[in-house]
Chain A
Amino acid sequence: MSGHAAELHEASHGGTTKLFLMVWIGLVVITLGEVYIAYLEFPAVTMLLMLIGLSVLKAGLIVAYFMHLRFEKFTLFLTIVPATIFCVGMMTVIFPDSMRLLNIRLH
């Protein structure tokens, strides 16, 4: 298979080697950015929000390109992603209780 034909074949299955390399470089750069941020001594909540935000961005790149979800039918995305985000979001309801416990223990 010629180089161009191989490229077209790869593209038909979602993405080219160049695209995947670009995504990988992006993921490594974001990772190094996270390590840098960790040493800037931000308040804990600010730090958490920045790190989780960057992690969500990395997760999005992995799911969209490495796991090919961007190249699948949109119905698969609609079945998987909103339900997962909803369930993960529901688990955060426990956090007000952790703050209550912290206040009890501090006073």
Chain B
Amino acid sequence: MTESHSEAAVTGAWSGGGSPYAIGHKKLGMWLFIMSDVMTFTALLMAYSYSRLANPDWPRHVFPIWPAIAFSTTMTVVLLASSLTMVMAVAAAHRGARGAAVKWLLATMAGGLIFCGLHVTEWFHLIEEGVRLWSNPWGAPLFGATFFGITGLHMTHVLCGVIYLGVIAWGYGTSRFNGEDVEVSGLYWHFVDLVWMFVFPMVYLMSVKY
């Protein structure tokens, strides 16, 4: 191999000499995590859809406009709003405006907490109507397990995201973390938002009570 060839091998984008994606390792790691988590939620939603299709007595008209659809629509808008505040936090971090970034991160956390509060209230509505993990008043017992399983895992992601953003807000505010850390936490938050964009129609809107 000539000298110029060996230089090309070392510095070539796909030869370890450069960054083929032009992003840091933290960001690439988060993208790979998101890919794996997409599989987790897809598997759960596929299992839910499989069970719904395969069971003639599956509860198909469960959620009335009040409170279930009103609550879940509000939750969707709140989560979308928290994504917008997260975008603002990342933009502020890129400008190096630490104070503004922390404020936007706190606003995002507030959005996440409001989402969880609304969701827990919505859960209590269903529990009051007799829905449990292994039984419900309307039909196939598996409905409760799949509903609480999918929405519960998503709510866990939101709560973990709130804690994650809290750590990032503290670390970025005290200059322990940099703008890339804020951006990587933003990727996670938007992913949590993205998952809800499929849970909301598949679980709630496909089962409205006319």
Give Cα A94 to B65, complex, Å.
32
Which residues of chain B are near A59, meaning CB under 8 Å? 194, 197-198
**B107 CB within 8 Å of chain A:** no
Q: Known: A38-B205, A55-B197, A105-B54. Contact between A66 and B46, CB under 8 A?
A: no
Encode B177-195 as 1/0 by CB contact (under 8 A) with A. Answer: 0000001001100110110
B210 close to A95 (CB less than 8 A): no
Give Cα A97 to B50, complex, Å.
8
**B113 CB within 8 Å of chain A:** no
Q: Of B50, B191, B194, which is within 8 A of A95 by CB?
A: B50
B46 close to A55 (CB less than 8 A): no
Which residues of chain B are near A44, meaning CB under 8 Å? 60, 206
B residues 33-82 with Cβ under 8 Å of A?
35, 38-39, 42-43, 46, 49-51, 53-56, 60, 65, 69, 73, 76-77, 80-81
Query: From DSSP, what is the main secondary structure of chain B's interface residues?
Result: helix
**B94 CB within 8 Å of chain A:** yes
A35 close to B21 (CB less than 8 A): no
**B84 CB within 8 Å of chain A:** yes
Which residues of chain A are near B51, meaning CB under 8 Å? 98
Q: Which residue of A lies closest to B94 (CB)?
A: A13
Q: Known: A31-B73, A67-B191. Contact between A87 and B206, CB under 8 A?
A: no
Q: Of B22, B54, B65, B83, which is within 8 A of A24 by CB?
A: B83
Which residues of chain A are near B46, meaning CB under 8 Å? 91-92, 94
Q: Interface residue count for A (Cβ, 8 Å)?
A: 55
Stretch of B85-93, B122-130, B131-139, B147-155 on the interface side? B85-93
B20 close to A24 (CB less than 8 A): no
B194 close to A72 (CB less than 8 A): no
Which residues of chain B are near A55, meaning CB under 8 Å? 197-198, 201-202
Q: Which residue of B lies closest to A35 (CB)?
A: B73
Which residues of chain B are near A79, meaning CB under 8 Å? 21
Given A58-B197, A94-B50, 10 other A-B residues pairs in contact with their CB atoms under 8 A: A39-B65, A39-B210, A52-B201, A66-B86, A66-B190, A87-B39, A88-B39, A102-B54, A102-B55, A105-B55
| A-B CB proximity, top 3 nearest | A51-B201, A101-B54, A38-B205
12 contacts between A and B (CB under 8 A): A1-B95, A10-B95, A27-B80, A31-B76, A35-B69, A38-B206, A52-B198, A52-B202, A63-B190, A67-B186, A76-B28, A98-B49
